Structure 1
Amino acid sequence: MAIRICKSLISLLCLAGALSAWPGPAAHADALSNLPSLGDAGGAELSVQDERRLGALIMRDYKAYGAVNSDPEITGYLTKLGAKIAQAAGESPANFEFFLVTDKAINAFAMPGGYIGVHTGLIAAARNESELASVLAHEVGHVTQRHIARRFGQQKQTTMVSAAAMIAAILVASSNPQAATGIMAAGAGYGIDQQLAFSRDAEREADRVGFQTLQSAGFNTQGMVDFFGRLQTASRLYENNAPAYLRTHPLTTERIADIRNRVGIDAGKGVRPPAPLDFELLRMKALVYGDKSNQQWSDRLKALSSPNEQDGFTNPIALEYGKSLVYANLLKKREAQEAADRSLELFRQSMAGKPVIAPLMLQSQVIETRLDAAYPSSQQALNVGSPKLVADLNNDGKVVLALLERLKNDYRNELSAKVLYADGLQRLGLFQQSDTYLRDLTQIYRSNPQLFELLSQSALALGKRADHHLYLAQSYSLRGAYLPAIEQTQIAKQYAQDNYYLLAEIDAKQREYKRKADEEREYLKASGNGP
């Protein structure tokens, strides 16, 4: 049942905007003056606050089922790209959260409250940044025009918690039907197909607004034509066995022709410039994420060893990088390290004589493979013995530390580089250094649960048990798990003993988590789902 519901509804959700659901991106504003305007946000019955709360509830269920991929490099990229698009749409990037979903399907979706999910399959299928940006701009259009809020506001009898459970279930069902059954049951009786379907006018408005946003952000609108052209070809190849999003919203020749006319460019002519290396590496990582078994990884290795233009990957640097990712999945640590080293060396050869910094993803993979070979986890470092000093490291450890320092300096504004640096310090056993570094970092990134989780590990290694449990509590709270957070603060109190200042901090955090838990309980009760 879960599969049937997913296939029939996924493209209709106000999560929607499955890529294939677009009737066709629009062109210049004056050429689209005849497209509908559904009114301003003031007409929506669902408030901005309630819409955000609904989105948060969905995300909590969605993340609980492991559907969100927290890869810091791709997530960081999506966040920056999404922020650029949001700003071009006249919105604050703080009102959006872009996240990654490990799924081969070419899809993206917008959820209530500005949460926008992007499948790894979509990133892998996009040949350049403009193509990917065109999808995000469409999804941002659904959010800014508050299509989701209007649709929910029309059905007062529907509780938002039931809606959240159903939406999360449908999303999870696309890749894990069995896991979705539980939360699907929580929304039983909810007329999801009637509640969440976008109207044609809403789709057309999202196209118009999205296209204008894409132009304002400075992207090449030709990307829309190219992407839809390939999807049209894919729909013909799939024929009757096409995926649900193509069957529900077929990409017709007339639609593609209309897009070309609006853009004002013949997509069949001209030579497309090659994608920048950074984007190719991003696509490659997303592509490899789609493979899940030894057989699939072995097949991927063969494909990377005999690339062709149809696959869209011909750059030898990206190909070696992809091999390294696959070897790492196969637990072939030496081969993974050698391929990562080759990819970096090929880059340096291509940039001979030019003062260019190696791409973040290349440097990160070189470090990851070296760490995996000799320092698999911070937990292992904890088990080895007491925290180390730099002077205690062997030659290999000092080489890895130097690579970590270079990465941190080359990419001082990239969160993924900071996370890898902190994790690398711990895996090397340098817990005092990681503790100092993470304490400063969490003052800047106060809403990142991963950083607080890493900080809790450093505190544990240093024998700071009260701090360990307090940081774990902060990590739980940032994930919306307030009851476990309260439990951790209670444990932290037992270790704080006579430390008055630490006890005061723990008490303050505990009151904060209790307040949030009470607010959530009252919200659920008011929405008809509380005790």
Structure 2
Amino acid sequence: MLITRRPPALLTLLILALVWLSWPARAELNLPEMGDPSSALISPGQEQQLGRTLLREVRRTLPLDHDPLINSYVQSLGQRLVSSTPDAHPYFSFLVVDDPRINAFAMPGGIIGLNTGMISAARNEAEVAAVIAHEIAHVTQRHLARMYAGSSRIDLATGLAVLAGIIASAYDPNVGQAAIIGGLAAGTQARINHTRANEQEADRIGIAILAAAEYDPRAMPGFFERMMMLSRANPDSVPEFLRTHPVTANRLSDSQSRAEQYPRDGYREDSLEFRVIQARINARQDPGQTIAEHTRGRDQDDPVSRYGYATALLARGDTQGAARALDGLNDEQIPRVALNLLQAEIAQRDNRPEEAVRILARLNELYPRHLPVVHHYADALLLTGEPLMAMTVIDSLLNEGREEPGLLHLRARAADQAGQRAVSQETMAEYYFYLGQYGESLHQLELALQAPDLTPFVEERIRSKRDIVRTWIR
């Protein structure tokens, strides 16, 4: 489903909200307001704490794509690149923004955002990997912290204003540039020069990450060159990636020279998962176009094209047509998880929840604690009236310490269906907290404390959580 563009007014509110939130966060992170050069950069630990705070703000503000299969693929690709980065910490998080424009952004602590339009527009998997590797380099080289290291006031309010501008610039460059400049309280030209130097360094390191992960490093300059060609062909429609990641002739030439230093052969081919995810994104963003292209195309027998066609038909409500499109496909043609999840989704939409549970139970045995499987399996169990089993499946993943708001929402539904009102509202409070909706989180905890099934042990746990949320609100 295509999410419409957020209005500029919302982005202005994002900037104001982030600056406002800096006051309680400043005490938590204990950042200096003034300092000598040794304190000009926040510590890596502080940067990760800041990243976690901003992650909740991004969840609250930006139109994220919550499709578990798409998110699992991007997380897997991102972690593969992180594991090939010598100086990277293990706490990177990768978000998918439901936006057809070509763009990506990075935040401190290892938060990487990637638009669905970026995946859709890529000619191959190496181009998607190139963009992610570039953003990883911004994080490992601490460019975001360095952007405001020269300010006379080094505090979290300054940092949040700058970072709000970085996020906002992905959706309205004018708002973003104003926020960055205002947050830095520095000259425009100095900021641009610094940004260009950072971009060139991120290219250099990103190319090395690509090669280490066995992706063709030429994908990075190739992608840049294609973006520049698109902007020249239509000057009124410059790709958002170029607005937030300015590409100059010197930068393009430098990245080409560095990529040519690596061998030309021996790199990964496009994975089947990449082709399927790209087809899924295209089908969800524009079902009509996917259906038309498949119907008149020469690749009607191509398994990935049939998968995309089935996804588009299901988006239009044609469950019978979607089932026929998948008929005969096997897990050598389409990855088992993607194929079975779509088959289960068709069964659910066709009012056959028991068949969906059967498909997903078998899949859960093969891929236990795999996010897309757990999410769909728990949802199907709720439709067949098995909330306690759904909670068990969900907890198998949440007990690993994963921060998954979507699973928390499902768990709250399951607890409510099982008659566990206090636990349901406690879980909803966690869900809202991770979405940055602290007031609603507190409200759910207050309701939980009034639930008729509240036990002393659960009450103590909820009161402890309430104290934490009240601190954030203050």
The secondary structure found in structure 1 opposite 2:114 is strand
Amino acid at match of 2:277: L
Report what 1:119 is aligned to.
Answer: 115
The one-character-per-residue Cα deviations of 1:146-200 (angstroms, maximum 9, x if unpaired) are 11101122224463444454444433447xx9xx9xx999999657894964433
Give the 3 Å change call, closer, same or farther, for CA 189–371 of structure 1 in structure 2.
same
Give the 3 Å change call, closer, same or farther, for CA 397–450 of structure 1 in structure 2.
closer
Structure 1 position 365 matched with structure 2 position 342: yes
The secondary structure found in structure 1 opposite 2:86 is coil
Match of 1:493 among 431, 449, 456: 449
The one-character-per-residue Cα deviations of 1:373-414 (angstroms, maximum 9, x if unpaired) are 21xxxxxxxxxxxxxxxxxxxxx4432222011221232252
How many angstroms apart in 1 are the aligned matches of 2:335 and 2:195?
A: 47
The secondary structure found in structure 2 opposite 1:95 is coil
Give the 3 Å change call, closer, same or farther, for CA 44–304 of structure 1 in structure 2.
farther
Paired residue total? 436
How many angstroms apart in 2 are the aligned matches of 1:121 and 1:324?
A: 20
Give the 3 Å change call, closer, same or farther, for CA 241–403 of structure 1 in structure 2.
closer
Alpha carbons 1:260, 1:266 under 8 Å: kept: no
Give the 3 Å change call, closer, same or farther, for CA 273–117 of structure 1 in structure 2.
closer
Larger Rg: 1
Structure 1 position 153 matched with structure 2 position 143: no
Question: Per-residue deviation at 1:64?
Answer: 2.3
How many angstroms apart in 2 are the aligned matches of 1:188 and 1:222?
A: 33
For 1:414-429, what aligned pairs fall within 5 Å after superposition?
A: 414-429=370-385
Report what 1:333 is aligned to.
Answer: 319
Alpha carbons 1:278, 1:359 under 8 Å: kept: no
Instruction: Report the more deviating stretch, 248-257 or 406-415.
Output: 248-257
Alpha carbons 1:109, 1:117 under 8 Å: kept: yes
Amino acid at match of 2:97: V
Report what 2:19 is aligned to.
Answer: none
Question: Per-residue deviation at 1:489?
Answer: 1.9
Give the 3 Å change call, closer, same or farther, for CA 109–3 of structure 1 in structure 2.
same
Match of 1:512 among 458, 468, 473: 468
Alpha carbons 2:448, 2:454 under 8 Å: kept: no
How many angstroms apart in 1 are the aligned matches of 2:51 and 2:305?
A: 38
Question: Per-residue deviation at 1:422?
Answer: 0.9
Amino acid at match of 1:152: Y
Report what 2:17 is aligned to.
Answer: none
Q: Structure 2 length normalisation: TM-score?
A: 0.78
Question: Per-residue deviation at 1:217?
Answer: 2.5
Give the 3 Å change call, closer, same or farther, for CA 202–432 of structure 1 in structure 2.
closer
Instruction: Report the more deviating stretch, 477-486 or 51-60.
Output: 51-60
Instruction: Report the more deviating stretch, 208-217 or 83-92.
Output: 83-92
How many angstroms apart in 1 are the aligned matches of 2:459 and 2:39?
A: 48
Question: Per-residue deviation at 1:99?
Answer: 0.5
Report what 1:286 is aligned to.
Answer: 281
Alpha carbons 1:232, 1:252 under 8 Å: kept: no
How many angstroms apart in 2 are the aligned matches of 1:201 and 1:476?
A: 39
How many angstroms apart in 1 are the aligned matches of 2:262 and 2:213?
A: 22
Match of 1:346 among 321, 329, 332: 329
Question: Per-residue deviation at 1:426?
Answer: 0.9
Give the 3 Å change call, closer, same or farther, for CA 270–510 of structure 1 in structure 2.
closer
RMSD of aligned alpha carbons: 3.8
Alpha carbons 2:217, 2:262 under 8 Å: kept: no
Report what 2:404 is aligned to.
Answer: 448
Alpha carbons 1:127, 1:275 under 8 Å: kept: no
The secondary structure found in structure 1 opposite 2:100 is coil
Report what 1:298 is aligned to.
Answer: 288
Q: Structure 1 length normalisation: TM-score?
A: 0.71
Question: Per-residue deviation at 1:361?
Answer: 1.5
Give the 3 Å change call, closer, same or farther, for CA 152–257 of structure 1 in structure 2.
closer
Question: Per-residue deviation at 1:480?
Answer: 3.2
How many angstroms apart in 1 are the aligned matches of 2:243 and 2:391?
A: 53
